[in-house]
Structure 1
Amino acid sequence: MDYLVFGNDALAWGIAAALALAALALLYGGKHLVLTQLGRIASRTDSHLDDIAVCVLASTARPFMWAVALYAGTQALALPPKAQLYISNGIILAVLLQVALWGDLAVKEWLTHYRNARQGDDPASTTSTAALGFVARAIIWLVLVLTILDNFGVDVTTLIASLGIGGIAVALALQNILGDLFSSLSIVLDKPFVVGDFIIVDGVAGSVEYVGLKTTRLRSLGGEQVIFSNSDLLKSRIHNYKRMESRRIAFCIGVTYQTTAQQLRALPGMIGEIIKAQQNVRFDRAHFKSFGASSLDFEVVYIVASADYALYMDLQQAINLALFERLGDASIEFAYPTQTLHHVAVDPGPAPAKAPASHAFDKAAA
């Protein structure tokens, strides 16, 4: 006497079990074989894509393989339509979840490789990858949820429209936060500065320590941490001194009015010789600029072929010392704020005549 379980006899269940075991063995064996071959290829290449493929494939979940094996086994069974629908939806759900997990891990691995590869040359990768990873993974899981709902008969079009209307309301309520979020993406993509750059924003000077989804943090010269919202930061004028390739230096010196015309004519050439004698410097010009209140003013311009501030200060110090020595040897005096008072003797003229004594006495009596 044949016994039926859910409408299938023992032979059908035996075949189903054999199919499930065979599918499970094939999945495990195929996974091991592919991982071995990909591992060999990855060890011989410099590309990171094959390493990502190995990592993603190795993360294949056991419940997913069991679900596929069970689905293969149920193909040998005669099941009611409702049960077949549940099984079909279940295997679709398992496949979508596994694909989403693969995609999520692939994004993580790629961003980790990108960060490690560019951390030395591009410090912004330490923060920019966080924003990009957040957006990419959010898109993956959003597509997964919508696909699952669509397969289970939910009207996704209506849902998306409803979410759009609700999204407008949420966007209005969170416009400041969303503004900072999109500003962070703009910083990531446009890169007006990166972590480690020395910048000046609204008179605040400091090194960029962190670029987040909402705020950017600077370490000021005084040692305190200054926090800017990303939106406010992009609305400001940013001076990025880290990207300075050279420095244009302009300074003035003043000599006294007792300097002779011959000395004034020789002074620009003397200054040029001093600056040209320095290394990593290109002399631009030196001119007798103006007549000051207490000095004859010269403007000097030169270019430092480096952005190093300490190097610029060393050069300026050497130039100043050489100027002090050369002008002293040439008997040219530096001017400083002075004021000269000229006393002019004025002839007082004849003394006024005195009034008669009686007349003076009458005035006193009155």
Structure 2
Amino acid sequence: MNDWNFLLERILWLNVGVVLIATLTLYFILRTLSSKLSSHLASWAKGQRSLATTLAVEILRQTSRILLFAFSLLLALKLVSLPARWEDTLAHGWFIALALQIALWLDSGVRLWTRDMLVSDDGTLRNPVTTTIIAVLLRILVWAVMLLSILANVGVNITALVASLGVGGIAVALAVQTLLSDMFASLSIGIDKPFEIGDFVVFGSVAGSIEHIGLKTTRIRSLSGEQIVCANSELLRQTLHNYKRMEQRRIDFKFGITYNTPQDKVREVAALVRRIVEGIADTRFDRAHFLAFDNYQLTFEVVYFVLSSDYNKYMDIQQDINLGLLQGMRELDVQFAFPTQSVEFIGGKFPQISVAGLPRQTTAERGDTQQDAPASAQLPARG
């Protein structure tokens, strides 16, 4: 019966009353301050539209009421005198409560950040696999650090535990080396963003649009219709052309005119090309020059820019330029060149040509004809 005499002590109940009243009062104050601060910050964040302010508001809203009560209790216990053993336990309680609350805040911040990463600035959906992997890894890291910190604070030797986890991680990494290589390649694609879903890419003999970026593979819908599956690590080793991000397209093409074109009309051809290109919308003329004397033509080189990445639009513009060149060359009375070949006979006699259905010439007639023929002649032959 004497063991229960301490319950009759007035000092004990007075201390319990003080702790209880102080705990409830502090809990009410902390909860009110947290809700008021989050409300004011939320109203201010509506005009800012900043990710940092949004994260701050959501993190404040994720403050645990249980942990607020624990903080209030720990603060109230400071108002009364406690045994030394209780003081030590109270110190551990402070650390555990604070570590749990910080872990909850960081976990909430990671989830909000990764949710914001899913949608780009123009409203398109980004790669969900990569953002999910990043979120899971970061949340595992946060809670692992929190757990190890609590264990270390209460006196547990975590050195052996950390070493065991390191050895086990190395063994697992060696066993799934290929999978990890593709997984980290997926993370690299998600963070560095060399391409995203919907981009038109070309690498090697593959040309198509990105349909899906997964944990191990990326799927591409080719121009011919089939789906091409490529490992992420293999894809990053390629030199890849991303045409969706091309703001303008540089075009150069050549054409030729015949050698018998007068010099003044050769100059007019370059001016004609300039007028045609500048007269078409969404183009920027760069240059048009008489480039070279080739085997059977005077070669012109034309360079211009299409102010769009759309390939079909480029083809429409090139067709308009070609049609304009056809019409303009007819008006200038200038002919396009085509492959020709000339055979020249110097001295000697022309070979006899016998055509079926025509009467044969006599020897005298052939002699008269050969006497009238020139010593040299050129026979053009088209090939």
Normalising by structure 2, what TM-score?
Answer: 0.72
Match of 2:222 in 1: 220
Matches within 5 A, 1:70-89: 81=85
Using the TM superposition, name which of 308-317 and 329-338 deviates more. 329-338
In structure 1, C-alpha distance between the alignment counterparts of 2:77 and 2:22, rounded to whole Å = 13
In structure 2, C-alpha distance between the alignment counterparts of 1:10 and 1:248, rounded to whole Å = 93
In structure 1, C-alpha distance between the alignment counterparts of 2:125 and 2:293, rounded to whole Å = 47
Match of 1:100 in 2: 103
Match of 2:60 in 1: 57
Match of 2:327 in 1: 325
> Offset at 1:141?
1.5
In structure 2, C-alpha distance between the alignment counterparts of 1:272 and 1:49, rounded to whole Å = 52
Match of 1:364 in 2: none
Q: Give 1:287's aligned amino acid.
A: F
Task: Indicate conservation of the 8 Å contact 1:284/1:303, yes or no.
Answer: no
Q: Give 2:112's aligned amino acid.
A: E
Long gaps (5+) in structure 1: 349-366
In structure 1, C-alpha distance between the alignment counterparts of 2:176 and 2:300, rounded to whole Å = 57
Task: Indicate conservation of the 8 Å contact 1:13/1:77, yes or no.
Answer: no
The secondary structure found in structure 2 opposite 1:326 is helix
Q: Give 1:57's aligned amino acid.
A: L
Task: Indicate conservation of the 8 Å contact 2:185/2:233, yes or no.
Answer: yes
Aligned residues: 343
Using the TM superposition, name which of 105-114 and 95-104 deviates more. 105-114
Q: Is 1:243 paired with 2:245?
A: yes
> Offset at 1:320?
0.8
Q: Is 1:283 paired with 2:296?
A: no
Q: Give 2:40's aligned amino acid.
A: R
Using the TM superposition, name which of 328-337 and 299-308 deviates more. 328-337
In structure 1, C-alpha distance between the alignment counterparts of 2:301 and 2:270, rounded to whole Å = 9
1:14-39 Cα offsets, whole Å, 9 max, x none, are 64365245314422432123321331
Evaluate the alpha carbon distance shift between residue 204 and residue 340 of structure 1 in structure 2; reply closer, same or farther with a 3 A threshold: same
Q: Give 2:236's aligned amino acid.
A: L
Long gaps (5+) in structure 2: 355-383
Task: Indicate conservation of the 8 Å contact 2:38/2:61, yes or no.
Answer: no
Match of 1:141 in 2: 143
> Offset at 1:106?
1.7
Task: Indicate conservation of the 8 Å contact 1:35/1:58, yes or no.
Answer: yes
> Offset at 1:234?
1.1
In structure 2, C-alpha distance between the alignment counterparts of 1:88 and 1:4, rounded to whole Å = 28
Q: Is 1:23 paired with 2:26?
A: no
Q: Among 321, 345, 351, which residue is 1:345 paired with? A: 351
Task: Indicate conservation of the 8 Å contact 1:295/1:336, yes or no.
Answer: yes
Match of 1:357 in 2: none
1:68-123 Cα offsets, whole Å, 9 max, x none, are 45656777697895x8877765664444333211210022223434655x431886
The secondary structure found in structure 2 opposite 1:4 is helix
In structure 2, C-alpha distance between the alignment counterparts of 1:19 and 1:320, rounded to whole Å = 91
Q: Give 1:245's aligned amino acid.
A: E
CA RMSD in angstroms comes to: 3.9
The secondary structure found in structure 2 opposite 1:208 is strand
Match of 2:39 in 1: 39
Evaluate the alpha carbon distance shift between residue 36 and residue 114 of structure 1 in structure 2; reply closer, same or farther with a 3 A threshold: farther
Matches within 5 A, 1:108-147: 108-113=111-116, 118-120=120-122, 124=126, 129-147=131-149
In structure 2, C-alpha distance between the alignment counterparts of 1:17 and 1:208, rounded to whole Å = 67
Task: Indicate conservation of the 8 Å contact 2:130/2:215, yes or no.
Answer: no
Q: Is 1:260 paired with 2:261?
A: yes
Match of 1:311 in 2: 313
Evaluate the alpha carbon distance shift between residue 307 and residue 51 of structure 1 in structure 2; reply closer, same or farther with a 3 A threshold: closer
Aligned-residue sequence identity (percent) comes to: 37
Task: Indicate conservation of the 8 Å contact 1:38/1:50, yes or no.
Answer: no
Matches within 5 A, 1:152-231: 152-231=154-233
> Offset at 1:231?
1.2
In structure 1, C-alpha distance between the alignment counterparts of 2:340 and 2:57, rounded to whole Å = 80
Match of 1:359 in 2: none
The secondary structure found in structure 1 opposite 2:247 is coil
> Offset at 1:194?
3.3
In structure 2, C-alpha distance between the alignment counterparts of 1:91 and 1:298, rounded to whole Å = 82
1:115-144 Cα offsets, whole Å, 9 max, x none, are 55x431886586764454344323212211
The secondary structure found in structure 1 opposite 2:150 is helix
In structure 1, C-alpha distance between the alignment counterparts of 2:160 and 2:113, rounded to whole Å = 35
The secondary structure found in structure 2 opposite 1:251 is strand
Evaluate the alpha carbon distance shift between residue 31 and residue 226 of structure 1 in structure 2; reply closer, same or farther with a 3 A threshold: farther
Using the TM superposition, name which of 97-106 and 134-143 deviates more. 134-143
Q: Give 1:267's aligned amino acid.
A: V
The secondary structure found in structure 2 opposite 1:199 is strand
In structure 1, C-alpha distance between the alignment counterparts of 2:170 and 2:128, rounded to whole Å = 32
In structure 2, C-alpha distance between the alignment counterparts of 1:223 and 1:24, rounded to whole Å = 68
Task: Indicate conservation of the 8 Å contact 1:246/1:307, yes or no.
Answer: yes
In structure 1, C-alpha distance between the alignment counterparts of 2:3 and 2:76, rounded to whole Å = 19
In structure 2, C-alpha distance between the alignment counterparts of 1:103 and 1:140, rounded to whole Å = 7
The secondary structure found in structure 2 opposite 1:282 is strand
In structure 2, C-alpha distance between the alignment counterparts of 1:54 and 1:288, rounded to whole Å = 66
